[in-house]
Chain A
Amino acid sequence: MSDKSIMELSNIHKSFGNVDALKGVSISIKKGECHCLLGDNGAGKSTLIKIMSGVHRPTSGEIKIEGRPIEISGPRDAINSGIATVYQDLALIPLMSVARNFWLGRELTKKIGPITVMDFEKCNSILMSEMDKIGIKLRDPSQSIGTLSGGERQTVAISRAVYFGAEILILDEPTSALGVYQTSNVLKTIERVREKGVAVVFISHNVSHALAVGDKFTVLSRGETLGTAKAGEINYEELQFMMSGNKELSELKDR
């Protein structure tokens, strides 16, 4: 793990009209590190990832990638800068085949005479080997995404982002809608991706999922960062306590 930050956000403010969604958020993400972003609903998590993925622009503040200040002008621009975002339920299109989804927007083509067509043979064979690597058994590349489980869909979306060269992978609540078994598969995938040197930003409000894979934990509350801790420096109760806005919600958990 290197010490250099691959992405650094400092003092990010974002207001929508007279609502301040982010009030000076700073976060630094390193290569090969899984940085968990924790916070309750409305803490500003989604605003922050939308700024990182180019959907919103910050009102003020600075974004640096590999030390250079940049402006992310849109989702496409973010992707070109190596920032890929996997949204909870917007990752893939259920009616389309796994192959069509995987290559969407970056279709491999070949020429038949003057006509450019999709190179399905090549698309399918690369897809099958990529799916094999992440442990998804496909019957055939043309089966629809809808036939996969929620966990498998997240895994496909993550491996697609990594295959296309993402260096910073933002995962928006990847486990929140999943069962226990599927969650553990997705967490394993995150582990594998991190070992490749990809920086993972893992957004969650589930502390135990975060603790299972996280190297660092930043807690957001009401548009501000409450601080960043390394793995081992903080435990479940402390994180839960910070997230719940210093209310003893953790006590209610076992009800």
Chain B
Amino acid sequence: MSDDVKNNSNLKTNFRSVMLRPDLGAIVGVVLVFLFFFLVARDTGMFSLEGSMNWGIVSSQFIIIAVGACLLMIAGEFDLSVGSMIGFAGIVIAVTSVVWGWPVWLSIITAFVVSMAIGALIGYITVKTNLPSFIVSLAFLYILRGMTIFIAIISTKKTIIGGVTEAAENDWLAPIFGGEIFTGVFDWLGEQGMIQTFVAGTKAGQPVVSGIPMMMVWAIGLVVFAHFLLTKTRFGNWIYASGGDAQAARHIGVPVNRVKILMFVFTAFCATVFATTQVIEFGSASADRGILKEFEAIISVVIGGALLTGGYGSVIGAALGAVIFGVVQQGLFFIGVESSLFRVFLGVLLLLAVILNTHVRKLITGAK
């Protein structure tokens, strides 16, 4: 083979492997979305430190639940109970700490244990009955939401339980979900005049952004963890295999059921992280929190290039999908567009992403 031909085929190979990156669509999408809002909303303060923190936090919320949904979808399953799980975990924390008077750290740990156990149950039922997880988790969407409202009503006669902020004072675990880090750095930047400070009111002199919220730290941490787990470890190989072809994976000795159940547990973990950060931040839990979150998570994952049928996808892609979500949702607010149009945009984006992914799948599997 002459060098020219060789170079040409290398180039083709490289081009092909770039085209087949699962997260390519999301990367392009993020660039386009930023470009658009940079052109349209530059003057609105959207890209100031404060504005960036605004869409950054919203994106982080989407990322936290998208990461769980991503690994689960690659393992070949769905969890539609994520939104209900968020409401449920929040109420567990509020009822045990405010109504029953438990220390907040114990309430948080309890919420994690109970949610993850329910996640394991959903996974167990799915693999044992061989039913689509779509149906099993849909059942839990209703069961958990109903239980959440029931627990809130019988214990307080209300669906919103406040007073968590007071209960969480001096708690050691709560700041890990509701606090901020690098506050000293931001104070210093404020003093140096490098970032804006409040000019009046009780916070006069303090920087407008006082630190990096823990929600962002959790989002970044979960992305790093899940991406590493999926692409670098043996367990990650099993996640791909369980979703790619469960029967073939079983024949080769992969513990497919265990992998799937663990991914349901991880999804529940992510939902509880989301719930806990919200409860600590707002100081209250509401029984209707988290509605539609499961679909937002799934849409982020699909925009991130994962196949609905499992076996293929990317955590980075899902995170970028979540960023597209956050930037567009807040961006429309900044430019003063009616916020209901956000859902129209989402629907269109979802459709485009699925069409693109289906095409990519054909390229990879060589199917005509």
Contact = CB atoms under 8 A, between A and B. Distances in A.
A107 B249 CA distance: 13
Interface stretch (B107-115, B119-127, B190-198, B250-258): B250-258
A179 interface: no
B155 interface: no
A144 B365 contact: yes
B252 A104 contact: yes
Interface string A86-123: 01001111111000100111010100000011100000
Given A116-B233, A147-B366, A93 B240 contact: yes
A100 to B, nearest CB: 5
A118 B253 contact: no
A73 B248 CA distance: 18
Nearest to B13: A139
Contacts of B13: 139-140
A76 interface: yes
A107 B238 CA distance: 10
A95 B237 contact: no
A32 to B, nearest CB: 25
B234 interface: yes
A113 B311 CA distance: 29
Contacts of B367: 146
Contacts of B241: 93, 96, 100, 104
A155 interface: no
Interface in B340-366: 361, 364-366
Chain B: interface secondary structure? Answer: helix
Contacts of B78: none
A93 B237 contact: no
B366 A95 contact: no
A183 interface: no
Contacts of B238: 104-105
B128 interface: no
Contacts of A148: 366
A85 interface: yes
B7 interface: no
B232 A146 contact: no
Contacts of A85: 251
Nearest to B362: A146
A91 B250 CA distance: 11
B250 A75 contact: yes
Contacts of B254: 104-105
Interface of B: 13, 17, 20, 232-234, 236-238, 240-241, 244-245, 247-254, 307, 311-312, 361, 364-367
Q: Nearest 3 CB-CB pairs, A to B? A: A146-B365, A93-B244, A107-B234
16 contacts: A87-B248, A91-B248, A93-B249, A103-B237, A104-B237, A104-B238, A104-B241, A104-B249, A104-B252, A104-B254, A118-B233, A139-B13, A143-B17, A144-B20, A146-B364, A148-B366
